[in-house]
Amino acid sequence: PGTIAESRCLVIGAASGIGLATAERLRASGAAVIGADLPSARWPGEDPGSLPLDVTDPESVRAAVASAVQAMGGLDAVVNCAGILGPVASALGTTVEEFERILTVNLTGAFIVSRAVLPAMAAAGYGRLLHLSSTAGKEGVINMPAYSASKAGILGLVKSLAKEFALTGVTVNALAPGNVMTPLFQEVPAEQQAAQAAKIPMGRFGTPAEAAALIEFIVSPAASYTTGVVFDLSGGRATY
């Protein structure tokens, strides 16, 4: 594709928050877009052509990707916004099962999505894959040990994949939002939200539309010399 309008896009986790705003923005830009989310997801309004999938289940991801390729005739860009916050709790208050569940959805899920989409993109000689990390993965947020670890894992995954596919025309990047007003962020207890807000030079949380605007650029054909990069979206709360 020469422009985003010519791109065929799959947005995972598209029923809510950043994924929903991304699917809306890409559609508004003229791209072909299919949204996917859990079978149990409640879609706001009617999502044309949405697909059920669970990123922890390789077979469901494979089937959804095959449906998307069939429906659009190929796949140029994949934005993986599937993620969970999990219980906000101290490390000792987090069970091993809870820790593993968050790692499985947020990190293993990203690996499963990557394995499902990268071979065809590489064969086509073009692709844009974006996973969602978080400033939590760079800073380590108190009372989010598993979430922070899962989002740190995305950084390593994306950088490794970027190198593996660097000669194929496929880029693999991550977006690291700080605090974006979505249903997920609203699960954070009020006092912890206030502590986060105090760290933001712009003095406000971000919006899903602001996340979608940066995502659109990262998965556009124009972003052709940028891979293995973690883009901050944090209102000036620069993290290394």
By beta-carbon proximity to ligand NAD, the closer residue of 126 and 208 is 208
The nearest distance, CB 15 to ligand NAD, in angstroms, is 4
Q: Which long-range contacts (CB under 8 A, 24 or more apart) does 153-156 make?
A: 153/103, 153/106, 153/107, 154/106, 154/107, 154/110, 155/230
CA dihedral 140→144→147→148, nearest 10 degrees, is 10
Spell out the residues 6+ positions from residue 225 whose beta carbon is closer than 8 angstroms to its own. none
Q: Which of 7, 19, 31, 50 binds ligand NAD (CB under 6 A)?
A: 19
Is residue 15 a contact point for ligand NAD (CB under 6 A)?
Answer: yes
Q: Give catalytic status of residue 147 as yes or no.
A: yes
- Distance, CA of 171 to CA of 118 (rounded, Å): 10
Q: Among residues 126, 147, 225, 240, which one is catalytic?
A: 147
Q: Is 179 in the site for ligand NAD (CB under 6 A)?
A: yes
Beta strands 170-177; 127-132: pairing state: parallel
Task: Give, as ranges, the residues between 32 and 91 that touch ligand NAD (CB under 6 A).
Answer: 37-38, 41, 53-56, 81-84
Does the footprint of ligand NAD cover residue 130 (CB under 6 A)? no
Structural contact between residues 14 and 35, judged by C-beta atoms closer than 8 angstroms: yes
Residue with tokens 């010399």: 225
Contact status: 165 vs ligand NAD (CB under 6 A): no
Q: Which residues are catalytic?
A: 147
By CB under 6 A, name the binding residues for ligand NAD.
Answer: 13, 15-19, 37-38, 41, 53-56, 81-84, 105, 109, 132, 134, 177, 179-180, 182-185
